[in-house]
Amino acid sequence: MPKVLISDKMDPKAAQIFRERGVEVDEITGKTPDELKAMIGQYDGLAIRSSTKVTKEILDAATNLKVVGRAGIGVDNVDIPSASAKGVVVMNTPFGNSITTAEHAIALMFALARDLPEADKSTQAGKWEKNRFMGVEVTGKTLGLIGAGNIGSIVADRALGLKMKVIAYDPFLTPERALEMGVEKMTLDDLLLRADFITLHTPLTDQTRNILSAENLAKTKKGVRIINCARGGLIDEAALKAGLDSGHIGGAALDVFVQEPAKESPLFNTPNFISTPHLGASTNEAQVNVAIQVAEQMADFLVSGGVTNALNVPSLSAEEAPRLKPYMALAEKLGSLIGQLAHGEIARVSIHSEGAAAELNQKPIVSAVLAGFLRVHSDTVNMVNAPFLAKERGMEVREVRNEKEGDYHTLLRVSVKTADGERSVAGTLFSNTQPRLVELFGIKVEADLVGNMLYVVNEDAPGFIGRLGTTLGEAGVNIGTFHLGRRDTGGEAVLLLSIDDEVTPELIATVRALPGVKTAMALKF
Ligand SMILES: NC(=O)C1=CN([C@@H]2O[C@H](COP(=O)(O)OP(=O)(O)OC[C@H]3O[C@@H](n4cnc5c(N)ncnc54)[C@H](O)[C@@H]3O)[C@@H](O)[C@H]2O)C=CC1
Ligand SMILES: O=C(O)CCC(=O)C(=O)O
């Protein structure tokens, strides 16, 4: 039974779903990195929010870990490249808390517009300072969105409902989508110049870090009010403080900070500054949503191989998984075969799907080919890290589909290009379930790629098969299956034999010494 650790506070629905789906679950929160490192080895899955930092060190200690599930959106607390290199799937729940977070941004916008926290403090202190608090209406004002994805677009929708004008800077926002959202797309400089309120909704990346830098803050309209419910690090906090102090910035509300938990900050107690402790996703509704979603996704993956919302591996629905499973087995065997037979540096791997195979989701098939191929040289390769390793090794990966059936109703062909030229192997599924090799380097041969195999290329001449059989018999080697193919009569022939025991180097040397043998090799599947 797979075992999952929930290491951050999560709605109890998550544990309930894991148990219902046959996954053992421990809920142990508040552990230090060292304590987590000591215990992580026993778990197949790790379910987190934002407190647990899934570092390379934790991943190195996680010898059984297959999946990290983030109940939420941002995965900046997970070292994704290290997870990919270790073959661990990283998933998030991209929609469960979007509405809640957008509502928090709108709440902060109103809090800034009417100075609500300060007015509340003053009133409860018995001051009744009616003249001190003069706010602004949001109706008719311009809201500048930096980032117009899931949350940004919900904020836009709510702001339009409030009769605001919404402008957006997002390099990936298409004009069609901007039109559909009812926002005006523009450059960052134009947005800075025009917005009365600015709200940030991008992830923290090398491009977005300090997007509101001192220089950019200086370009904003005097009196601008700024809201950040996305990630600390998008705004230069020192420059924000200077802008508030000088009065150029009319107000700022931060839910997120460069350093979290933010127990102290030069911004604290600055006039017109409001803060919340990363509460963007903190509503009952959002927490139930993300807990259910993360547990379902992780259980799907651990129990049936379905992949949803993964950030480092292609998606594969729980419905698709059973249909794709035999193809992935075939893809892995073909990748492994060509990986064992190919020599020299591989410049390119091409995966060609024909007939029924071409109608399927190709990404998992490609990953399986690469995993089979690269596993020949490393035991730690799997479907998650294979594409990453192929890229790291400078291999070009090509994917070609042809829905028209050829000789077989379904076919996968894997070709590799080396300095010696391009060579390919092809396979099909018998009864839609059983992987079979049908072509090897241009020679038709039908074989099951299983267990220990002996691969022989020889001159097609009478008596060879008898001699080989005698040699194997004398060496005490039992043949399981025997598959033969040849290019043309009297030309080159290929033999693939499954052998009960491991094919020893001595046996290979004996076979190579037989007259007519061009190549002999041990293969393993
Ligand atoms: N405060 C909180 O508790 C929460 C914070 N978040 C954070 O909110 C952020 C946004 O989340 P979603 O809208 O769901 O993400 P999303 O991926 O749907 O949208 C992000 C948008 O940012 C845009 N973007 C990327 N690079 C950009 C750049 N250089 N300049 C301008 N735009 C750029 C993308 O094109 C995309 O449209 C994430 O960082 C997430 O972690 C999400 C949920 C809760
Ligand atoms: O889990 C949380 O409270 C934080 C949510 C968040 O920041 C996110 O989903 O990106």
Total Cβ atoms within 10 A of residue 140: 10
Q: Residue 240: pLDDT above 90?
A: yes
Identify the DSSP state of 12: T
The conformational region for residue 394 under phi > 0 = left, psi -120 to 50 = alpha, else beta, is left
Q: Residue 488: pLDDT above 90?
A: no
In ligand 1, which atom is closest to the CA atom of 281?
3
- Interval between CA 452 and ligand 2 midpoint (Å): 50
ipTM tops 0.90: yes
Q: Are 186 and 173 in contact (CB under 8 A)?
A: no
Ligand positioned closest to the Cα atom of 287: 2
Q: Residue 419: pLDDT above 90?
A: no
Confidence of residue 378 (pLDDT cuts 50, 70, 90): confident
Strand 197-200 with 224-228, pairing: parallel
Task: Report d(CA 53, CA 37) in Å as an integer.
Answer: 11
Identify the DSSP state of 310: B
Cβ burial, residue 102 (10 Å; 0-12/13-18/19+):
buried
Nearest alpha carbon to residue 456 among 405, 396, 507? 507
Kindly give the residue spans of alpha helices, DSSP state H, lying in 87-224: 98-114, 116-124, 150-161, 175-181, 188-194, 214-218
Name residue 159's amino acid.
Answer: A
Nearest alpha carbon to residue 334 among 369, 306, 310, 364? 369
- Token match 């099909």: residue? 428
Cβ-Cβ contacts under 8 Å for 115 (sequence gap 6 or more): 133, 135, 251, 272
The mean per-residue pLDDT over the stretch 147-169 comes to 97
What's the pLDDT at 316? 79
Beta bridge partners of 46: 5, 68
Q: Are 56 and 35 in contact (CB under 8 A)?
A: no
The conformational region for residue 48 under phi > 0 = left, psi -120 to 50 = alpha, else beta, is beta
- pLDDT tens for each residue of 314-326: 777 778 888 898 9
Q: Residue 347: pLDDT above 90?
A: no
Q: What is the mean pLDDT of the chain?
A: 94
Which CATH superfamily, name and number, covers 98-275? NAD(P)-binding Rossmann-like Domain (3.40.50.720)
What's the pLDDT at 255? 98
Identify the DSSP state of 109: H
Kindly list the distances between the CA atom of residue 154 and the CA atoms of 147, 183, 188, 198, in Å, as whole numbers in the listed order. Answer: 11, 12, 20, 15
Task: Report d(CA 128, CA 107) in Å as an integer.
Answer: 23
Q: Residue 174: pLDDT above 70?
A: yes
Of 11, 29, 50, 93, the one to substitute when testing ligand 2's pocket (max ligand atoms within 8 A of C-beta) is 50
Higher pLDDT, residue 78 or 382: 78
Q: Residue 305: pLDDT above 80?
A: yes
Ligand positioned closest to the Cα atom of 187: 1
- Interval between CA 72 and ligand 2 midpoint (Å): 5
Q: What percent of the chain is modeled with pLDDT above 90?
A: 83
- The reply to whether 19 belongs to the active site is no
- Interval between CA 201 and ligand 1 midpoint (Å): 4
In ligand 2, which atom is closest to the CA atom of 282?
3
Ligand positioned closest to the Cα atom of 49: 2
- Interval between CA 422 and ligand 1 midpoint (Å): 43
- Catalytic residue from among 27, 184, 260, 459: 260
What's the pLDDT at 108? 98
Q: Residue 334: pLDDT above 70?
A: yes
What's the pLDDT at 281? 97
Q: Residue 100: pLDDT above 90?
A: yes
Task: Report d(CA 165, CA 184) in Å as an integer.
Answer: 9
- Interval between CA 464 and ligand 2 midpoint (Å): 68
- pLDDT tens for each residue of 201-213: 999 888 899 999 9
Kindly give the residue spans of alpha helices, DSSP state H, lying in 345-463: 362-375, 385-392
In ligand 1, which atom is closest to the CA atom of 101?
44
Nearest alpha carbon to residue 281 among 269, 290, 268, 293? 290
Total Cβ atoms within 10 A of residue 515: 10
Token pair, residue 256, equals: 């997120």
The mean per-residue pLDDT over the stretch 417-429 comes to 92
Name residue 402's amino acid.
Answer: N
What's the pLDDT at 388? 84
Q: Whose CA is nearest to atom 39 of ligand 1?
A: 203
Residues in the ligand 2 pocket, defined by CB under 6 Å = 49-50, 72-74, 97, 278, 280-282
Is 98-275 in the same CATH topology as 1-96+281-313?
Answer: yes
* Multiple choice CATH, 314-441, 3.90.1640.10, 3.60.150.10, 3.30.1330.90, 3.90.1150.10: 3.30.1330.90
- The reply to whether 278 belongs to the active site is yes
Residues in the ligand 1 pocket, defined by CB under 6 Å = 72-74, 94, 97-98, 101, 146-152, 169-172, 201-203, 205, 207-208, 229-231, 255-256, 278, 280-281
The mean per-residue pLDDT over the stretch 272-288 comes to 98
Q: What percent of the chain is modeled with pLDDT above 70?
A: 100
- The reply to whether 260 belongs to the active site is yes
Which pTM was predicted? Answer: 0.77
Beta bridge partners of 444: 439
The mean per-residue pLDDT over the stretch 174-191 comes to 95
What's the pLDDT at 40? 98
Mean pLDDT is lowest, of 25-34, 421-430, 487-496, for 487-496
The hierarchical CATH code for the domain 1-96+281-313 is 3.40.50.720
Q: Whose CA is nearest to atom 17 of ligand 1?
A: 149
Q: Residue 182: pLDDT above 90?
A: yes
Ligand positioned closest to the Cα atom of 154: 1
Identify the DSSP state of 477: P
Task: Report d(CA 499, CA 505) in Å as an integer.
Answer: 14
Task: Report d(CA 64, CA 40) in Å as an integer.
Answer: 8
What's the pLDDT at 490? 67
- Interval between CA 147 and ligand 1 midpoint (Å): 6
- Interval between CA 188 and ligand 2 midpoint (Å): 26
- Catalytic residue from among 49, 104, 231, 483: 231
CATH 3.30.70.260 fits 450-525, yes or no: yes
End-to-end CA distance of the chain: 26
363-379 burial code (b ≥16 CB/10 A, e <16): bbbbbbbbbbbbbbeee
Q: Where are the domains of the chain?
A: 1-96+281-313, 98-275, 314-441, 450-525
Q: Check whether the bond before 261 is cis (ω within 30° of 0).
A: yes
